[in-house]
Amino acid sequence: MNPTAFSEQMRRAWAVAKKDIRIYYFKGPVLIFGIFMPVFLFLAFLMGSRQLPLAFLVSGLVGMALFFTATAVSPAIFPWEGQAKTLERLASCPITVEAIIFGDMIASTLFGIGITLITVLIGLGLGLSLLHAITLLGGIVLAACCFSAIGMLLAVPPTNVPSNIMMLSSLIKFPLVFISGIFIPLQQMPPWGLALAVCSPLTYFTDIVRYSFTGASYFPIPGDIAALGVFTALFTAGTMYLHKRTMPKRM
């Protein structure tokens, strides 16, 4: 693709993202699974774990906030649009499938970054010190891209029933939260728990957040960033390939 055509497709992807922002940010399932769910999980954990340091708890909240918000928008867009028959109209426009998917990912990424920055401000308001702001900001942006790609992967099954996708999404997201060091420090995990934790991109983002607030991390920070980069590339390539195969079945 020549630079002019690529630039035009990116402009159309941004138009798709703006459409998603206007329509889907305030949908009930997005608010429930993207905002209320991580808050309720955090409050339940906070009440039962008062002996843990505040930095550990807030880092977990930041990790959950980004993971749930960045994976709340993208899984439901295709089912909603397939159900409303607007996906056919979008596909008939001079826009590639990759640009449509990229636009959905942009909307999901921005939603995740916005809500996560609010949780960081909450941590600062509670008295925590942010020791590595640039590292945290870079980790948030990279992890938001990674998690939005995960959300798009969850929407690959060609169903136009949003509840089916949201149910599948919950079955995958909740186990990832519990194996990613959010509720249990990685240092306290058994060997089999660590073996599962290293398979989750949320583990590396949570490690970056804790390093940003405390200066200590379980993995080397360059390793965390590299792992998130690899996961992002794999998930993005996978979602582009799989959606090109399944999108015709939605119409």
Q: How confident is the model at residue 38 (pLDDT cuts 50, 70, 90)?
A: low
Asked if residue 73 lies in contact with residue 24, where contact means CB atoms within 8 angstroms, the answer is: yes
Q: Which amino acid is at 68?
A: F
pLDDT digits (tens, 9 = 90+) for 131-147: 999 999 999 999 999 99
Q: How confident is the model at residue 109 (pLDDT cuts 50, 70, 90)?
A: very high
Whether 183 shows a pLDDT value over 60: the answer reads yes
Start-to-end C-alpha separation, the chain: 27
pTM above the 0.85 mark?
A: yes
57-96 pLDDT, tens per residue?
888 888 888 998 888 877 777 777 777 677 777 767 778 8
Banded model confidence at residue 30, pLDDT cuts 50, 70, 90:
low
Structure tokens at 149: 């790609």
* Average pLDDT estimate for 89-105: 81
Kindly report each contact of residues 126-132 with a partner whose C-beta sits within 8 Å and lies 24 or more positions away, as own/partner: 126/54, 126/58, 127/54, 128/54, 128/55, 128/58, 128/213, 129/213, 130/212, 130/213, 131/212, 131/213, 131/214, 131/215, 132/211, 132/212, 132/215
Phi, psi of 114 (to 5 degrees): -60, -50
Neighbours of 16 (CB within 10 A): 22
Could you tell me the residue ranges of all domains in the chain? Answer: 3-250
Given a contact cutoff of 8 angstroms between Cβ atoms, the answer to whether 144 and 70 are in contact is: yes
Residue 162 in this model has a pLDDT that exceeds 80: no
